[in-house]
Amino acid sequence: MKKISLYLVMACTLLLSACSTMKPTPYDYTNYQESKPRSILVLLPTDTTNDVKGSPAVLAHTISPLAEEGYYVFPPALVYETFKHNGLTQAQEIHNVNLQKLRDIFGADAVLYINVDDYGVNYQVFDSVTKVRVSGKLVDLRSGKTLWEGTGYADDADRNNNGNAIAMLITAVVKQIANNVSDKGYKVAAWATGNMLNGPCNGCLLYGPRHPLYGQDPQLQPQQK
């Protein structure tokens, strides 16, 4: 029995030791570093949800994080009007425009494609949660290479409750009605988009040329032992 206990302790020790030394696989920034994009064209996000407010809400919260990361971002109103003038108003048909055509029209270095994967209020038994999930892909307009891909998620779940089932049920119903009326998703979209675009982290966007730490991204520095 003592031997079994000893083996269990040794196994647990080895397991914990292995977990502590495991490191995430470094994100491959090869194309990104070769491209060195200075300007980004953000297209109207596509939306695989049933909420028409998702796409404009996510777009509205995309420009600021990119600018904060050090990139020039084309004004979304100007971009939309340009597409509209050419007969394109739907997100999917805008996403289908040839890369070279986008380069010729806007002169951008890269284009950011975004999809809204989840947006809106989800009713649960004891809570009403507003969820927003987005995914993005940055593509070089000169070479056509994918520079970066990422996702972002956020919700307004209340993770603190007093255990009173009736009170929680009533609160969930009231919260759902309030969120639908006020479109809480717009605020949550800011969190989700920020989680996708803001860094620094392994897998995050790299700093642009207008950022004071351009070229000094922590995720590109050699790991300290």
Residue 112: phi and psi, rounded to 5, are -110, 115
pLDDT digits (tens, 9 = 90+) for 98-127: 999 999 999 999 999 999 999 987 765 456
Is 6 within a domain? no
CATH of the domain at 204: 3.40.50.10610
Q: Which of 16-30, 95-109, 147-161, 182-196 has the lowest mean pLDDT?
A: 16-30
Q: Which of 44-58, 158-172, 192-206, 210-224 has the lowest mean pLDDT?
A: 158-172
Answer whether residue 4 is part of any domain.
Answer: no
Q: What is the mean pLDDT of residues 33-47?
A: 97
Comparing CA positions, the residue from 185, 181, 201 lying closest to residue 193 is 185
Q: According to the model, what pLDDT value does residue 211 have? A: 97
pLDDT, mean of residues 153-165: 64
Mean pLDDT of 189-214: 95
Number of domains in the chain: 1
165 within some domain? yes
Show the domain range for 170: 24-213
How many Cβ atoms sit within 10 Å of the Cβ of residue 201? 14
